[in-house]
Structure formats: structure tokens, C-alpha cells
């Protein structure tokens, strides 16, 4: 019987063994067609080229065995567990394999059926080596290789409902679709970048002759992903150039008034960022700029410069912060800087009473409020601006893509055809690789250096046995009238995680420091409770604040000089650096204590923080350790998910793809030429995956 003819655009459900449940599982991975499946790059490879004789196997080793089933049985235990057992023999002896099931009883394997087993040897007994739940592949009687043995075997990404062997078998069945598959990348571009044709690359990607061939294939698939991503970024940039925005004027008299309002003279790094932002704001096209700077670099002053210039031009400004604490802090900073001015401020958060909220919204819509500071409440449907000129989003990675775009879409009722300018700020240093990949359609301003007067922070990496030393230092700082933070990874005790928690920690610190006030702050507290705790800490009524990472961003208490992080091994380096930024904000300096409670100790990773205060260098190291998707903890909606590309390893390839995308669009802006039809199709698929319903950010 001839094998069915398969096409690259066939549904993955057309493959044998892929029924509805497995098809849905593939869909969760973004796999709907055979081409999607074939582009699913393996995470790694296992060398299963050479089966091991059963007689040579030892306990604990991982091995491949190929033989025939001598006997097999299936039985149920009293606990309701079903066990499938098989004795498999090769020319040297027999091995025993057992599989465990709950919910159904499997059929025994047919005697004399040729099979391959791959797994760890649990024990070696009289009957032979024993495998516990090894991977099983049923082989044809003919002496030929299968997808799971006799070669370098791919281990693909998987999800609930799909085992590694199911994904591998599906890829094996889909391989015929590579023949005749259209290649979206023009031959000239492949030749220029020394890349193989798509069909050859896909076959080598999954079942290579050697690992060098696999890497060449992966590089080709990675180039496709990065090229399509860069095409979308270039398109967004080009499309924004066709939109209109209200120009912001900065005549000399306005610049002088702004500088008089700032509490200090701008540093060279701040002035450079201001110059870039002002040049953008003066254009009739919308600015979309990322302002990043390390802890203490003075991003707020730069943002205030842009804000005041916008208000001076008769336009409104919206400032969106991720938490009420940070929104309130921004408002207090602006109130201090603008005391005695005619700038009208308004605070919009989720907890305002209905009447007060309605009154504020009416004033915003009438243009009677110049600057609105708030949380996600700013993007509510009932918020209308008269003429919104600038949107400032603080700690942008705390928001989803859709939330940011909804705010940018609020151009105002006076000129609703215009887009406001957008300034996105972050205190989290973003590695160059990540900035190019995720925010590559934005212009980036980096504030080099720190504000004069910021004192250095010492960092200790300690083990639990050094607790007395840490306690003595905390007591000394509190006795001197200063304040401290203690950060825990959990709010409350967990049955699943053996970690210290904030609630129990607060009790321990309160007992150890009976003469001091110990507060507790975490995300489960009600809004009013969190506000009250932070206000007490700001006022000095709370000496030591026990908290979770809710204090990571924006909390500014200059009198706080010590920060202790429990279970520091559980945090990313960038997150720890952000936490460290909560201290040393005054004139007394600071101490950050990282308590490593890992079983084996991980000082090498944490010592990066002890040795370096450069947030960008730390972020680069964090990116190497944790990857793009996990740098900020939870994966952010809208961040690109690549199957084959791996950053920062593929940064040189990313730069090649960026240049190639620019060249393609310069010659064919719409990718309308026949030779670009494949790229246009992939770009459309990618756009559907990443884009939300908002059209605010082209």
C-alpha cells in the first residue's frame, strides 16, 4: 500500500494517531499544519545510534535496547494502578520493562513483536536489567531504523496530552511533506547568508546524520523566524511614519522654565536622553521611545521634562504606573516639582468613589486636567481626553501589550485622528539582545551614569549559618534611626514549596526586634491596607518592612539602608538588582544581603551581584542564564516566542535578519513580488499570533 501524499498545508490532524485531543494539544503549541509541526525545532537530541547488549547494562545508566517481546502481561493492583510488564530479549539476554497507568488497563504487548526501549536502568536482577516506564517504540519486523532509535533522536517541546514519542512520530510521518514544500526565502538571500534550502533543513533538523548538520538546519529555521519578526518590526516603524501626532514645541523660554522646576541640574546622560526625546516630540509623527536607565539614573526627571513641554504646548499628558503605590509616588513627585505652577494634576486609580471619579473624568474630557496619573484605570473605556499629547508608561514590562496600546489609542476628542506621543520607561536594564528583539520597533534612549549623590550599596551573599551577623547589622541600622526591608518569595506558608514566607517572617522579626515596629506588605492585602503600610513606612512609623516583591518597583524611602532577601536563589539577577535599588537612595549608603538557602549553594550566580553594580551587565548575564521569555519572571503577552531561534546566542543572526528585512522592504514595501509571497504569508501568520485587536500601535 502506497504511503499517502502529504502537503505542507495539510492539517496536523490528518496524521495517523492524531485525533481530536492530540490535535487540540498541538494547537496549544501553535501547531495547526504540517509545516507548523516541521518548524517545531527540537530542544535537544539523544544519541540512540547504537543499541546496548542487555547483558552489559548496569544500574543507573540510560540505554537503548532493541529486541523482541518474549512475554507480556497486564494487571491491576489493589490500589487501582494498572501495570503493563514485558520481558524483552536480544541476542545477549533479557530485560524487564514496566509501565504504570491510572484510569485504564493497557493490552499486553504481542509476543515476538520487535520493540525498542529507551530509559534508565532501575535495577539489575536475576531476570536481567529492569526499566521503569522506558520510552517504547514498536518497530517493523524488517531491519530498518525507526524515528526513536538507530540515529540521533530529536526531543521536541511538548505539552499536556503529547508525549515526546508522540510528537516525534508525528514529525516522522510529516517528513514527506518537505518534498515540494515552497521555500519562503528567495534563493539569493539563502546564498548570501550561507543557508540550506528549507526542505533539506527540515529533514536535517529533526533527524540529522550528525549534530553539526542539526545546528546548520536550526540556524536556517532561526533565520526564518528572526527575518519574519524583523519584517513586522520594520513595518510597524514605517506605518507610524504615516500617522499624525500633535507637535510639541520647546522654545527657549519653555526650556528655561522647565529647568527651573527640576530639583537638580541634569546629568550629561539625562541631557542626552532629553535631547533625543525633544527631537521626537517636535515632529508631527508619533514618538514611540523606550527610556531605560539603571537604578538611580534619574529617568523621572527626564520624563518630567517631556511632560512639562507637552503641557506648555496646550496638550494633556497621561502617566500610567503598574501599582497605586507607584502612581501615588509619581503624583507626589509632580506636586513637589510643580508647586506654585498652573499645571493641573489628577489621580485616577481603581478605588476612587463614583462621584469623585465622574467629576474627575468630566474635567479630563473638558481639558481642565493637564496631567492624569493613574494605574490601569487610565485605560478604562469611560476615560476621555480632550487633546492627549503624550502618554508615559512606567515600568512597561508590568503591563500587557494590549493595555499599553489602549492608552496610546486615546488621542482625544479635540483631534481624534491624531495619535499621542508615547514614552515608555523602565528601571529594569534591558540587554541589547532583548531590546532588539522585543522592542525593536521603538527608538531607545539609555541614560548613562547615575545622579550625583547616590551612594554605593554593598552586597553580601550569605548562607543561613550567618544569620546572627545579618541580624546584628539590621539592629545597628535601626538603632541609628534608619529603616530596613526583608523580602520573602512567598506571602504565606506553602505545602508544595519548602520556602520561608512573609507572614511567618514578620512574626519572627517582630520577636527578634521587640523595640521596633515591624510592618507587613504583600499583594494579598487590600488596597487601603497596602497604602496605609507604605505611608507608615514612608513616614518612619514602621522601622522594618517585611514584604514580597511588591516593593521591587518604585518604592522610594531614602532612609532605608538595609535590604535582606530570603531565598535569593529563587530570584533572577535582574529582579534582585531591582530590589537592591530600593536602598542607597539617601546619603547613608546601603547594604543588600542575599540569603542563599539552596541545598548545594549557588554563590557563583549570586556573586555576580556582589561583584557588579552595572544593571546592564547583570541583565546580560541574567539573559544568558534564563532566556528572553523568563527575564522578568512571568512571560509577558506579546513577547515573541521562537521555536528555533535562541537568544542571546543568535544575536549575530538577528542582526543579519534585521539588515535583510530592511533591504527587502526597501525594494518591495508590500512584499507583493511573487518571490516574496512565502515571506508575506509567514509574516501574516506571525502578525495574527502576536497582534491583539488594538490598532493603536501599527
Range scoring the smallest mean pLDDT among 153-162, 198-207, 270-279, 585-594: 585-594
Is there a single domain that holds both residue 133 and residue 269? no
Among residues 577, 579, 554, the alpha carbon closest in space to that of 485 is found at: 579
Q: Which of 565, 595, 626 is the last residue of a domain?
A: 626
Q: Is the pLDDT of residue 433 over 70?
A: no
CATH of the domain at 134: 2.40.50.140
Residue 546 has phi, psi (to 5 degrees) of -90, 130
- pTM of the predicted model, to two decimals? 0.71
pLDDT digits 0-9 by tens, 169-185: 999 999 999 988 999 99
pLDDT-above-90 percentage for the chain = 49
Q: Give Cβ neighbours of residue 214 (< 8 Å, ≥ 6 apart).
A: 42, 45, 152, 204, 205, 208
Q: Which of 416, 447, 478 is the last residue of a domain?
A: 447
Residue 93 has phi, psi (to 5 degrees) of 165, -165
Q: Is the pLDDT of residue 284 over 90?
A: yes
Is there a single domain that holds both residue 132 and residue 161? no
pLDDT of residue 406: 63
Q: Is the pLDDT of residue 551 over 90?
A: no
* Residue given cell 509545516 in the structure block: 35
Query: For the chain, what is the mean pLDDT?
Result: 85
DSSP 636: P
Q: Give Cβ neighbours of residue 505 (< 8 Å, ≥ 6 apart).
A: 486, 488, 546, 566
- Residue 217 counted as domain residue: no
Number of helices followed by number of strands (H, E) in the chain:
21, 21
CATH of the domain at 389: 3.40.50.300
pLDDT digits 0-9 by tens, 27-57: 988 899 999 999 999 999 999 999 999 999 9
Buried b (16+ CB within 10 A) or exposed e, 475-499: bebbeeebbbbbbbbbbeeeeeeee
pLDDT of residue 404: 55
Specify the higher pLDDT residue, 475 or 588.
475
Which range marks the domain in which residue 601 is found?
457-626
Q: Is the pLDDT of residue 308 over 90?
A: yes
pLDDT of residue 688: 75
Is there a single domain that holds both residue 271 and residue 323? yes
- Residue 674 counted as domain residue: no
Confidence of residue 14 (pLDDT cuts 50, 70, 90): very high
Is there a single domain that holds both residue 371 and residue 470? no
Confidence of residue 63 (pLDDT cuts 50, 70, 90): very high
Q: Which of 626, 659, 679 is the last residue of a domain?
A: 626
- Residue 12 counted as domain residue: yes
- Residue 673 counted as domain residue: no
- Residue 532 counted as domain residue: yes
Is there a single domain that holds both residue 465 and residue 506? yes
Is there a single domain that holds both residue 479 and residue 410? no
pLDDT of residue 298: 83
pLDDT of residue 696: 35
Specify the higher pLDDT residue, 21 or 433.
21
| Segment 417-435 mean pLDDT | 77
pLDDT digits 0-9 by tens, 621-654: 776 666 554 433 334 434 446 788 887 788 889 8
Is there a single domain that holds both residue 88 and residue 120? yes
| Segment 615-619 mean pLDDT | 74
Highest mean pLDDT, choosing among 402-406, 534-538, 571-575, 599-603: 534-538
Is there a single domain that holds both residue 262 and residue 303? yes
Q: Is the pLDDT of residue 145 over 80?
A: no
> CA-CA distance, 194 to 652, in Å (whole number)?
14
Q: Is the pLDDT of residue 153 over 90?
A: yes
Buried b (16+ CB within 10 A) or exposed e, 527-543: eeebbebbeebbeeebb
For residue 413, how many C-alpha atoms fall within 13 Å in the half-sphere facing its CB?
10
pLDDT of residue 410: 65
Specify the higher pLDDT residue, 225 or 298.
225
- CA 367 centroid distance within chain: 38
pLDDT of residue 639: 45
Range scoring the smallest mean pLDDT among 212-221, 388-397, 491-500, 523-532: 491-500
Specify the higher pLDDT residue, 363 or 577.
363
- Residue 643 counted as domain residue: no
Is there a single domain that holds both residue 312 and residue 431? yes
Specify the higher pLDDT residue, 655 or 549.
655
Strands 135-138 and 114-125: antiparallel
Is there a single domain that holds both residue 90 and residue 175? no
Is there a single domain that holds both residue 274 and residue 348? yes
| Segment 380-404 mean pLDDT | 75
> CA-CA distance, 658 to 440, in Å (whole number)?
9
- Residue 245 counted as domain residue: no
pLDDT digits 0-9 by tens, 653-683: 988 999 999 999 999 999 999 999 999 998 8
Please report the DSSP string for 513-534 in residue order.
-TTS-EEEE-TTS-HHHHHHHH
pLDDT of residue 399: 53
Q: Is the pLDDT of residue 195 over 70?
A: yes
State the total domains in the chain. 4
Is there a single domain that holds both residue 35 and residue 63? no
pLDDT of residue 698: 31
Take residue 655 and report the three cell numbers written for it. 542582526
Under a CB-based contact definition with an 8 Å cutoff, are residues 68 and 86 in contact?
A: no
- Residue 640 counted as domain residue: no
Amino acid at each position: 500500500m502506497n504511503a499517502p501524499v502529504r502537503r505542507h498545508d495539510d492539517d496536523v490532524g490528518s496524521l495517523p494517531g492524531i485525533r481530536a485531543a492530540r490535535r487540540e494539544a498541538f494547537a496549544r503549541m501553535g501547531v495547526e499544519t504540517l509545516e507548523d509541526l516541521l518548524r517545531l525545532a527540537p530542544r535537544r537530541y539523544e544519541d540512540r545510534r547504537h543499541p546496548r547488549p542487555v547483558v552489559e547494562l548496569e544500574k543507573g545508566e540510560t540505554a537503548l535496547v532493541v529486541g523482541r517481546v518474549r512475554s507480556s502481561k497486564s494487571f491491576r493492583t489493589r490500589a487501582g494502578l494498572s501495570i503493563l510488564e514485558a520481558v524483552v530479549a536480544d541476542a545477549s539476554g533479557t530485560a524487564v520493562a514496566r509501565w504504570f497507568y491510572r484510569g485504564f488497563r493497557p493490552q499486553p504487548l504481542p509476543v515476538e513483536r520487535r520493540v525498542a526501549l529507551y530509559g534508565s536502568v532501575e535495577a539489575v536482577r536475576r531476570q536481567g536489567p529492569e526499566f521503569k516506564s522506558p520510552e517504547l517504540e514498536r518497530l517493523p519486523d524488517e531491519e530498518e531504523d525507526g524515528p526513536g532509535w538507530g540515529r540521533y533522536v530529536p526531543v521536541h517541546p511538548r505539552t499536556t496530552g503529547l508525549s515526546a514519542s508522540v510528537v516525534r512520530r508525528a514529525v516522522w510521518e510529516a517528513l514527506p511533506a518537505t518534498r515540494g514544500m515552497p521555500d519562503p526565502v528567495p534563493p539569493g538571500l539563502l546564498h548570501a547568508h550561507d543557508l540550506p534550502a528549507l526542505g533539506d533543513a527540515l529533514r536535517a533538523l529533526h533527524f540529522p546524520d550528525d549534530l553539526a548538520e542539526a545546528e546548520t538546519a536550526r540556524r536556517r529555521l532561526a533565520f526564518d523566524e528572526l527575518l519574519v519578526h524583523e519584517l513586522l518590526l520594520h513595518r510597524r516603524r514605517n506605518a507610524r511614519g504615516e500617522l499624525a501626532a500633535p507637535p510639541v514645541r520647546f522654545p527657549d523660554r519653555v526650556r528655561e522654565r522647565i529647568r527651573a522646576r527640576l530639583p537638580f541640574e541634569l546629568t550629561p546622560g539625562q541631557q542626552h536622553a532629553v535631547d533625543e526625546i525633544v527631537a521626537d516630540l517636535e515632529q508631527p509623527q508619533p514618538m514611540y521611545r523606550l527610556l531605560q536607565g539603571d537604578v538611580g539614573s534619574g529617568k523621572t526627571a527626564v520624563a518630567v521634562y517631556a511632560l512639562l513641554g507637552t503641557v506648555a504646548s496646550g496638550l494633556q499628558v497621561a502617566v500610567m504606573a503598574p501599582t497605586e503605590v507607584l502612581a501615588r509616588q509619581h503624583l507626589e513627585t509632580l506636586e513637589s516639582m510643580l508647586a506654585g505652577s498652573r499645571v493641573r494634576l489628577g489621580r485616577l486609580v481603581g478605588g476612587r468613589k463614583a462621584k469623585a471619579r465622574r467629576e474627575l473624568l468630566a474635567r479630563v474630557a473638558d481639558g481642565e486636567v493637564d496631567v492624569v496619573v493613574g494605574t490601569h484605570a487610565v485605560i478604562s473605556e469611560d476615560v476621555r481626553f480632550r487633546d492627549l499629547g503624550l502618554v508615559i508608561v512606567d515600568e512597561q514590562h508590568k503591563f500587557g501589550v494590549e493595555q499599553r496600546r489602549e492608552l496610546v489609542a486615546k488621542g482625544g476628542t479635540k483631534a481624534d485622528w491624531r495619535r499621542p506621543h508615547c514614552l515608555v520607561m523602565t528601571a529594569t536594564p534591558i540587554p541589547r539582545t532583548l531590546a532588539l528583539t522585543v522592542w525593536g520597533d521603538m527608538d531607545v534612549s539609555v541614560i548613562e551614569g547615575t545622579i550625583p549623590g547616590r551612594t554605593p550599596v554593598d552586597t553580601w551573599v550569605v548562607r543561613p549559618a550567618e544569620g546572627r551577623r545579618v541580624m546584628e547589622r539590621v539592629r545597628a541600622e535601626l538603632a541609628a534611626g534608619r529603616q530596613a526591608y526583608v523580602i520573602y518569595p512567598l506571602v504565606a506558608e506553602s505545602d508544595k514549596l519548602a520556602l520561608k514566607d512573609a507572614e511567618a517572617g514578620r512574626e519572627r522579626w517582630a520577636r527578634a526586634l521587640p523595640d521596633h515596629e515591624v510592618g507587613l506588605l504583600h499583594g494579598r492585602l487590600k488596597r487601603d491596607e497596602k497604602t496605609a503600610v507604605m505611608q507608615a513606612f514612608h513616614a518612619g512609623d514602621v522601622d522594618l518592612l517585611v514584604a514580597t516583591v511588591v516593593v521591587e518597583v518604585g518604592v522610594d524611602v531614602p532612609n532605608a539602608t538595609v535590604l535582606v532577601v530570603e531565598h535569593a536563589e529563587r530570584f533572577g539577577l535582574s529582579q534582585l538588582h531591582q530590589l537592591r535599588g530600593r536602598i542607597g537612595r539617601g546619603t547613608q549608603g546601603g547594604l543588600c544581603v542575599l540569603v542563599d538557602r539552596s541545598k548545594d549553594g549557588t554563590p557563583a550566580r549570586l556573586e555576580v551581584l556582589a561583584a557588579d553594580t552595572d544593571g546592564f551587565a547583570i541583565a546580560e548575564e541574567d539573559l544568558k542564564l534564563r532566556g528572553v521569555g523568563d527575564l522578568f519572571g512571568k512571560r509577558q503577552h506579546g513577547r515573541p516566542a521562537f521555536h528555533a531561534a535562541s537568544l542571546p546566542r543568535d544575536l549575530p543572526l538577528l542582526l543579519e535578519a534585521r539588515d535583510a528585512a530592511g533591504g527587502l522592504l526597501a525594494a518591495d514595501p508590500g512584499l507583493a513580488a511573487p518571490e516574496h509571497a512565502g515571506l508575506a504569508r509567514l509574516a501574516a501568520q506571525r502578525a495574527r499570533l502576536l497582534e491583539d485587536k488594538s490598532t493603536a500601535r501599527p
